[in-house]
Amino acid sequence: MEVRYAANPIDAKHYTTERLRKDFLIENIFVPDEFTSVYSLYDRIIVIGAMPVNKTLTLPAFESLTRAEYFLERRELGIFNIGGQGVVTVDGTSYELAYKDCLYIGQGNKVITFASKDKNRPAEFYMNSCPAHKSYPTVKMTKAEATNINLGDQATANKRSIFQYIHENGIQSCQLVMGFTELHPGNVWNTFPPHTHMRRMEVYFYFEIPENQIVMHFMGEPTETRNIVVRNKQAVISPEWSIHCGAGTSNYTFIWGMCGENKTYTDMDPAGTNILM
């Protein structure tokens, strides 16, 4: 498990492009028949990728860092499948996950396994985990069951659909909030006008980016903006003090995962275009 340290915004404004990418960009998330994992000291979120091809993968405790007997001893976990049909088994109970299905697993579950239905179209499980103080039920949710909110306008190239899965009015959790946003064809701007939320950090996972296309992810304090070039199936860690918006050379989709002080999706501090620099 790789550890990413938190940065002071005063220091981050002086980072080079290489340093920004090293500290905030997660480039390689899916490796066949392996787990990848990044532990961020922003609210102690963990980003995990699993791509079972030829075997079933069992989630390790990562005990050298977590000092836990099993991974969810003091944590909760949100999972999205963005690949082929997959199966997640939680202490003996199996859940089949299709494309864009979500599974929440509460604190206290011990044995979590991941498998693909077809090794020629392997599942790709993208996960966020954060500390938990209470156990909530394990719940599966499909895209059709998620709360759908439509925002933006074609004229400003930010027409998008938000699908909320793990949130205050959806799947219940201790502090984890997850869902995804789809940009409609011909639209490229996400989360714009931008905002910060000092009470929660966030991780953006970008996917459905067409081949040879990119997304420019904007971060930093509103008056000290920076950018990171993001390609398909890569993620960006977004600190509490940072804006998080992007513009692509095509439409795309991104999964947002948050943890922190509250689960109020609308608890944002607007950073209008008049103060961006």
One digit per residue, pLDDT tens: the chain, 277 residues? Answer: 999 999 999 999 999 999 999 999 999 999 999 999 999 999 999 999 999 999 999 999 999 999 999 999 999 999 999 999 999 999 999 999 999 999 999 999 999 999 999 999 999 999 999 999 999 999 999 999 999 999 999 999 999 999 999 999 999 999 999 999 999 999 999 988 888 988 999 999 999 999 999 999 999 999 999 999 999 999 999 999 999 999 999 999 999 999 998 888 888 888 878 778 7
Cα–Cα distance for residue pair 7/67, rounded to 1 Å? 24
Are 158 and 176 in contact by the 8 Å Cβ rule? The answer is: no
Residue 85 CB partners (closer than 8 Å, separation 6+): 96, 97, 98, 116, 117, 118, 121, 123
pLDDT of residue 135: 96
> Are residues 126 and 255 in contact, defined by beta-carbon separation less than 8 angstroms?
yes
C-alpha pair distances (Å), 18 with each of 21, 88, 144, 217, 236: 5, 36, 40, 15, 14
Q: Chain-centre distance of CA 112, in angstroms?
A: 19
Q: Where are the beta strands (DSSP E) in 46-133?
A: 46-50, 57-58, 75-81, 86-90, 93-97, 102-105, 112-116, 125-131
| Domains along the sequence of the chain with CATH | 2-270 (2.60.120.10)
Sign of the Cα torsion 251, 32, 52, 28 reads: negative
Name the residue among 235, 234, 242 with its Cα closest to residue 271. Answer: 242
Residue 70 · residue 147 · CB < 8 Å: no
Q: Starting at the edge strand that comes first in sequence, how are the strands of the sheet with 75-81 ordered?
A: 2-4, 35-40, 46-50, 125-131, 75-81, 102-105, 139-141
pLDDT at 110: 97
Report how far apart, in Å, the C-alpha atoms of 92 and of each of 55, 111, 114, 262 are.
17, 8, 12, 32
Dist CA 24 CA 130 (whole Å): 18
Which residues are 139's β-sheet partners? 104
For residues 45 and 57, give the distance between their C-alpha atoms in angstroms, rounded to a whole number.
21
| Phi-psi category of residue 154: left, alpha or beta, with phi > 0 → left and psi -120 to 50 → alpha | alpha
Pairing of strands 234-238, 200-207: antiparallel
The residue type found at 42 is: Y
pLDDT at residue 192, rounded to an integer: 85
